[in-house]
Structure 1
Amino acid sequence: MTTQPQNRANIGILFILIGIFCISINDMLIKQLSGGYPLHEIVFVRSAIGVLITLFIVQLEGGWGILRTSTPWLHAVRGLLIVISNMSYFVALAALPLADATALFFAAPLFITLLSIPVLGEKVGPLRIGAVIAGFVGVVIMQRPWADAGELDVSRLVLLLPVLSALTYALNQLMTRKLGVTSKASALSVYIQVMFILVSLAFFAIAGDGRFAEGSTNASVLFLLRAWIWPASGDIWAFVGLGLNSAAVGYCLSQAYRMADAATVAPFEYVGLPLAVLWGWAVFSELPVLEVWIGITLILSSGLFVFLREQKKARMVARAKVKLR
């Protein structure tokens, strides 16, 4: 078995694009359901369906044996990181417009590109570092730090939740790159789905009757702690869609970061920004404010520059190899 990470950039990019599209659908459905169901119920149903589909993929990728691992605690930490990332983001999503929450979360690819240097030893040149800094400027603009609390529709804490989500997501994906050397994408996805199920069941045991949400009018608190209820007939297909998306997201993102350098794959996650704007406008009649538009422009521009720089670097390396033959 190989002990070196793979580097198949084109395949990694394809998987990240599919995964990000599925994430945009996932976010839209969860925001739709956030007004009537608790987050831990949605997570449980989504992951229960997702893990069944992923276990089928496990059979295609090698059978039950690929679920064995010599580093169970590292997989547990990785699973916990993605649970924190998802739940903090979704709690914010209940109170924020879809495009705003997504834009704040998009500190994640910037974190990934920067952290890939000390954590994975990947090389990121000064021009790409400059592009990443420009992206961070965009993220700061979208957070509107100059605004008074009274000018914001939500608390500063809610605005910080997507940033926490971004950081834990970045750490999770860097661990995926490390653990993906010896683990299949389907196995990595199963470990995460199981962690989601365990955490959601713990929430149900502690707060499933809704007692901690009584008297609260905060949308995020209600989404996190309201009582479980049986889904309405019209919402069942939304839950099924979440389950299918969960399986697709877990597999595609794990595969993307197994197959290519983190610094190469991460910028393509920016595709989620225009998708979030699209779903926010089409489904929730929301459009970003001016600051968010400026930030999105900076983020997309920096991501495109990083991609073009990576492509130029790859061509130069290929030409150098040809000359050496």
Structure 2
Amino acid sequence: MTFSDATSTRQGSAAQAMLAAMVILGISDNAVPLMAEQIGIWQFYLMRTAIALPLVWVMARAGSGGIKPVRIGAVVLRGMLLAVAMVFYFSAVALMPMAQALAGLFTSPILIVLISVLFLRHRIGLVRISAVTFGFLGVLFVLQPDPYEFDWLILLPVAGGCFMLLALWQQV
């Protein structure tokens, strides 16, 4: 197998894994508003974790990686940050239209780029500037902020996006 064959195989596997993850997320995200009437958000999150842990174990046994953390402190911190982000997000999904909740959550990539430029002094090109600009415009289009009818509820998914930012930033 040549280098390009190995690369294309990894890219294909990554694309399949991403597609599977998005299908699973789509199903679970759409289930939240239905379940919010019957169970609490902590129960949903616990149920989601109980389903995910055996799947992670099976994937690790199948050769998709190990489950033993190399740096336990970093794993715990990232897990806690992601858990807080998801609590904010799932709370938002239970209380507002999913499009608004997702738009608020997707502020994290915009914030990552802005913080990287402003505080870490990273240079970004025109393509990334365009992506951030269009992403921000998309968030504004979906959220449709009106200063006269501001609802503090919209800050739930944005808080989730901020904690997601911290979790992703901690990974670097």
TM-score by length of structure 2 reads 0.76
Query: What is the CA–CA distance in structure 1 between the aligned matches of 2:147 and 2:122, rounded to whole Å?
Result: 37
Query: What is the CA–CA distance in structure 1 between the aligned matches of 2:97 and 2:73, rounded to whole Å?
Result: 36
Percent of aligned positions with the same letter in both sequences?
24
**Equivalent pair of 2:82/2:167 in contact (CA under 8 Å):** yes
SS of alignment partner, residue 67 of structure 1: coil
Q: Which residue of 2 aligns with 1:226?
A: none
**Equivalent pair of 1:111/1:170 in contact (CA under 8 Å):** yes
Query: What is the CA–CA distance in structure 1 between the aligned matches of 2:23 and 2:110, rounded to whole Å?
Result: 19
The residue type equivalent to 1:42 in the other structure is F
The residue type equivalent to 1:22 in the other structure is I
**Equivalent pair of 2:105/2:160 in contact (CA under 8 Å):** yes
> Do the aligned partners of residues 62 and 94 (structure 1) sit closer, same or farther apart at CA in structure 2, a change above 3 Å counting?
closer
SS of alignment partner, residue 42 of structure 1: helix
Instruction: Say whether 1:41 aligns with 2:36.
Output: no
Larger Rg: 1
Query: What is the CA–CA distance in structure 1 between the aligned matches of 2:164 and 2:12, rounded to whole Å?
Result: 22
| CA deviation map 1:54-95 (0-9, x unaligned) | 1122222288xx333341111111001110110001111121
> Do the aligned partners of residues 95 and 167 (structure 1) sit closer, same or farther apart at CA in structure 2, a change above 3 Å counting?
same
> Do the aligned partners of residues 16 and 62 (structure 1) sit closer, same or farther apart at CA in structure 2, a change above 3 Å counting?
closer
Instruction: Say whether 1:100 aligns with 2:100.
Output: yes
Q: What runs of 5+ residues in structure 1 fail to find an aligned partner? A: 1-6, 179-325
Query: What is the CA–CA distance in structure 1 between the aligned matches of 2:59 and 2:165, rounded to whole Å?
Result: 25
TM-score by length of structure 1 reads 0.44
Correspondence list, 1:27-38, <5 A = 27-38=29-40
Higher relative contact order (CA 8 A, sep 6+): 1
**Equivalent pair of 1:120/1:174 in contact (CA under 8 Å):** no
The residue type equivalent to 1:89 in the other structure is Y
Q: Which residue of 1 aligns with 2:52?
A: 50
**Equivalent pair of 2:85/2:160 in contact (CA under 8 Å):** yes
- Report deviation, 1:121: 9.5
SS of alignment partner, residue 148 of structure 1: helix
The residue type equivalent to 1:132 in the other structure is V
Q: What runs of 5+ residues in structure 2 fail to find an aligned partner? A: 1-6
**Equivalent pair of 2:36/2:94 in contact (CA under 8 Å):** yes
Query: What is the CA–CA distance in structure 1 between the aligned matches of 2:135 and 2:76, rounded to whole Å?
Result: 31
Q: Which residue of 1 aligns with 2:125?
A: 125
- Report deviation, 1:145: 3.1
**Equivalent pair of 2:57/2:67 in contact (CA under 8 Å):** no
| CA deviation map 1:136-187 (0-9, x unaligned) | 13323433333423xx6xx31x1011111112223323444x4xxxxxxxxx
Query: What is the CA–CA distance in structure 1 between the aligned matches of 2:118 and 2:63, rounded to whole Å?
Result: 32
**Equivalent pair of 1:119/1:174 in contact (CA under 8 Å):** no
Query: What is the CA–CA distance in structure 2 between the aligned matches of 1:36 and 1:119, rounded to whole Å?
Result: 44
| CA deviation map 1:91-150 (0-9, x unaligned) | 11121012221222222333345556689998741232133123213323433333423x
SS of alignment partner, residue 145 of structure 1: coil
Q: 1:26 aligns with which of 25, 28, 36?
A: 28
